[in-house]
Amino acid sequence: MATRPTWQGYLRLSLVSCPVALYTATARTSDVSFNMLHKQTMNRIRMIPTDPETGPVDRSDIVKGYEIEKGHYVVITDEEIKNVRLETTRTLDIERFVDAADIDRLYWNDPYFLTPDGDMAVEAFSVIRQAMEKAEKIALGRLVMHQRERLMALEPREKGILAYSLRSNREVKDAHEVFSHISAGKPPAEMVEIAAKIIDQKSGPFDPSKFNDRYEDALRALIKEKQKGHGVKKVEEPKEAEVIDLMEALKRSLGGERRKTPARKATATRKPAAKKRA
């Protein structure tokens, strides 16, 4: 495998264990990133660590500190951090099996691929993977990665295992704090029915190829135009949404804006509308 593993250790189910490697399942290599340049020399700007009192600081003089109160820190060395070792630093121990529906989507975080690390590990890995597939449940275990113990959710995927890091309970905010101001009143049933029909019209299978990052595509197009020496026109700001009746908006959405009917011509017998008084 070309990429380097993010974590290496042992996968353990009770007394059965095998060496495994964890790889990130996503990539950010295609992201458009910019460097900071001096506008006259076009040289890249170097970020020099600076002490507000003494000036520039050598990297060797920088230490890690945890702020216990404003302006007061506890200094922790790299050696001391390495000495904080848990069993999960090297072992992903499966602790429990749960139904996928039991895990709130708020907790799902980053995806990884878990594979056997070496030919000798394949048999034990396959036994654990196939048993998980038969159980049709999500396996939960913990490991230490990037100086943090993380809860992992494991499920069979093809010949390997798909592993998701799960957010801790402290990381997930209470939805009630944000949603509490929303009125509990129910909207009119007719409006909901029309909205449901609109949803039905727009329903279909998920195709990730249809959902590229259009903003990034636009940035790449901008860079190409600049390479050619072309100027770029300013994009017009979108017009503010027209304030219309909600029921009318729902009906128009259901009918489709594409099928716009031509405006009716006034008949000869129709009287002109009376002018409003100022």
Please write the tens of the pLDDT for every residue from 60-75: 899 999 898 898 999 9
Cα(140)–Cα(88) distance, integer angstroms: 13
Whole-number pLDDT of residue 199: 86
Which residue from 24, 51, 153 is spatially nearest to 95, judged by alpha carbons? 153
Whole-number pLDDT of residue 273: 47
Per DSSP (E only), the strands in the chain are 7-13, 16-24, 50-51, 55-56, 64-69, 72-76, 91-98, 108-116, 138-145, 148-157, 160-166
Structure tokens at 95: 């602790």
Whole-number pLDDT of residue 29: 62
Q: Which domains does the chain have, with CATH numbers?
A: 10-27+84-166 (2.40.290.10)
Whole-number pLDDT of residue 268: 41
- CA dihedral (267, 268, 269, 274) in degrees, to 10, reads 90
- CA dihedral (53, 54, 57, 63) in degrees, to 10, reads -60
Cα(77)–Cα(84) distance, integer angstroms: 11
Whole-number pLDDT of residue 261: 41
Q: Which has more confidence, 252 or 119? A: 119
Q: Per residue in 129-173, pLDDT tens?
A: 999 999 999 999 999 888 788 999 999 999 999 999 999 888 999
Cα(16)–Cα(126) distance, integer angstroms: 11
Residues 6+ apart with CB under 8 A from 145: 6, 7, 22, 165
Q: Which has more confidence, 253 or 242? A: 253
pLDDT band at 224 (very low <50, low <70, confident <90, very high): confident
CB pairs under 8 A, 24+ apart, for 98-107? 98/137, 98/138, 98/140, 99/137, 99/138, 100/137, 100/138, 100/155, 103/138, 103/153, 103/166, 104/172, 106/167, 106/172, 106/175, 107/166, 107/167, 107/172
Whole-number pLDDT of residue 72: 92
Mean pLDDT taken over the chain: 83
Percent of the chain topping pLDDT 70: 86
Cα(129)–Cα(142) distance, integer angstroms: 17
Section 71-82 average pLDDT: 86
5, 22 in Cβ contact below 8 A? yes
232, 225 in Cβ contact below 8 A? yes
Structure tokens at 267: 């008949």
100, 155 in Cβ contact below 8 A? yes
Structure tokens at 224: 């190409």
Q: Has residue 266 got a pLDDT over 60?
A: no
Q: Per residue in 250-261, pLDDT tens?
A: 888 887 644 444
Residue 96 CB: number of other CB atoms within 10 A? 9
Cα(152)–Cα(108) distance, integer angstroms: 9
Cα 180 to Cα 62, 91, 105, 172, 184: the distances in Å are 45, 42, 20, 17, 9
Q: Which has more confidence, 82 or 168? A: 168
**pLDDT-wise least confident of 2-11, 128-137, 240-249:** 240-249
